[in-house]
């Protein structure tokens, strides 16, 4: 029987287990949105995961929506990420960079730029955060601002930015990239009928609304190869004002087209709160029939639930997020039934200038 601790071959990437460290925004980069040695230590401590997907990483200044999140568009950022990939590879781990553009989910107080999106529709009841001073321990939540509707030139530029970011990621030593098309950010905004009211080739029908995702994916594949390109989608998540009754049909259409492109994987981002909608098994079966390569699921999984979906061959890898924060040796703890540590200070989840609450958690044996 398949289980989460057995090895797995994801195309030409050999994984020592089926545990994935999920992408988690921590806002711990240095000035200039540059990764540091502290970030390298943090990821290396968690390299026992079969594969790590990094925190969301903006492809441009325009693509940034939160303070102190890392980028992948300057030479300094590339050099910073090289420290991370080397540290993880030295520990025998694999690591993929998540490429991010927030679209309308931003504020000029974050990046001094007006947000952009498929349409000039503000994301209601949505906030981002800044830090009032470099020494601030707590983030200050601020509302998002009115976005500017993207022109065709803006769209072409974003496609180019994703492509360049993917090339930069490979230069930095990553094993691949994940195109972030989930959680209400730019690509997701194009996918949904309630946030995308365009009347050109990128709006209107489901076939048109998936065009940006497909064009970005094709451009990235042309530069780094389909075997290094994954896509993350979240059809069941509706926060950031993303409730679209057509989303499941749109998702399956996108999955069908992504299958034709032979991408490395689809990463299904699921809601992780207590009363979140449950994903029906029929949906998972349809996705398995539609998409032939690796399927990843992330969102509030326990070990039992993870093994259940793997044994049923509904997914191939399962991602764990918050458990990895206070348990750098999570794989060992799950496999040996060791107790799990708790997050010691919720104020350290986002932001911070030192190791406290970030890379200072111990393994169980220590």
Q: How confident is the model at residue 136, as a pLDDT?
A: 72
pLDDT at 365: 87
Q: How many helices (H) and strands (E) does the chain have?
A: 11, 14
Closest C-alpha among 233, 260, 326, 308 to residue 45: 326
Q: How many residues does the chain have?
A: 366
Report the alpha-carbon distance of residue 7 to residue 188 in Å, rounded. Answer: 32
Q: Note whether 245 and 159 are within 8 A (CB).
A: no
- DSSP states along 122-148: --TT-EEEE-SSTT-SSPEEEE--PPE
**Are 254 and 197 contacting, i.e. CB atoms less than 8 angstroms apart?**
no
> What is the predicted pLDDT for the residue at 278?
77
Query: Nearest Cα to 54, choosing from 13, 92, 15, 22?
Result: 22
Residues classed as catalytic: 185
Q: Residue 189: helix, strand or coil by DSSP?
A: helix
pLDDT of residue 279: 86
From CA 229, how far away is CA 261, in angstroms rounded?
10
Helices (H), the chain: 37-45, 75-90, 108-111, 152-171, 186-191, 206-209, 211-224, 247-260, 281-290, 303-311, 330-336
How confident is the chain (366 residues) per 10-residue block, as mean pLDDT?
Answer: 94 98 97 97 98 98 98 98 98 98 98 98 97 80 98 98 98 98 98 98 98 98 98 95 95 98 97 72 96 96 96 97 97 97 93 93 92
What is the C-alpha separation between 1 and 42, in angstroms, rounded?
Answer: 33
Give the span between the Cα atoms of 1 and 151, in whole angstroms.
Answer: 51
CA distance 29 to 34: 5
Q: How far apart are CA 269 and CA 181, in angstroms?
A: 10
Token pair listed for 298: 């992330």
Task: Spell out the residues 6+ positions from residue 198 whose beta carbon is closer than 8 angstroms to its own.
Answer: 118, 119, 149, 204, 208
Give the distance from CA 285 to its chain's centroid.
23
Which domains does the chain show, CATH number per domain? 8-348 (3.20.20.70)
């Amino acid at each position: 029987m398949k289980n989460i601790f057995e090895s797995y071959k994801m195309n030409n990437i050999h994984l020592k287990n089926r545990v994935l460290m999920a992408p988690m925004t921590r806002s711990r980069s240095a000035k200039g949105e540059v990764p540091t040695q502290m970030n390298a230590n943090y990821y290396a401590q968690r390299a026992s995961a079969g594969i790590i997907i990094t925190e969301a990483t903006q492809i441009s200044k325009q693509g940034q929506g939160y303070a102190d999140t890392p980028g992948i568009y300057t030479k300094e950022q590339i050099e910073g990420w090289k420290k991370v990939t080397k540290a993880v590879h030295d520990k025998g781990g694999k690591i993929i960079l998540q490429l991010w553009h927030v679209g309308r989910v931003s504020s000029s107080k974050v990046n001094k730029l007006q947000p952009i999106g498929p349409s000039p529709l503000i994301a209601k009841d949505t906030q981002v955060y800044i830090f009032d001073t470099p020494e601030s321990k707590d983030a200050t939540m601020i509302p998002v601002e009115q976005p500017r509707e993207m022109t065709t030139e803006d769209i072409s530029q974003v496609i180019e930015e994703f492509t360049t970011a993917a090339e930069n990621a490979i230069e930095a030593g990553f094993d691949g990239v994940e195109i972030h098309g989930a959680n209400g950010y730019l690509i997701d905004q194009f996918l949904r009928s309630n946030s995308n009211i365009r009347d050109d080739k990128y709006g209107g029908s489901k076939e048109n609304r998936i065009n940006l995702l497909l064009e970005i994916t094709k451009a990235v594949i042309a530069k780094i190869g389909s075997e290094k390109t994954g896509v993350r989608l979240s059809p069941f998540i509706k926060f950031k004002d993303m409730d679209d009754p057509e989303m499941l049909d749109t998702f399956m259409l996108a999955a069908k087209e992504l299958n034709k492109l032979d991408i490395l994987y689809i990463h299904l981002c699921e809601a992780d709160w207590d009363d979140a909608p449950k994903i029906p098994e029929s949906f998972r079966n349809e996705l398995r029939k539609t998409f032939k390569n690796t399927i990843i699921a992330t969102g509030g999984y326990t070990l039992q639930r993870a093994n259940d979906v793997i044994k049923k061959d509904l997914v191939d890898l399962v991602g764990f997020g918050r458990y990895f924060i206070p348990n750098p040796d999570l794989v060992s703890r799950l496999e040996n039934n060791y107790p799990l540590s708790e997050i010691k200070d919720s104020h350290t989840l986002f932001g911070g200038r030192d190791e406290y609450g970030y890379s200072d958690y111990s393994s169980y044996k220590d």
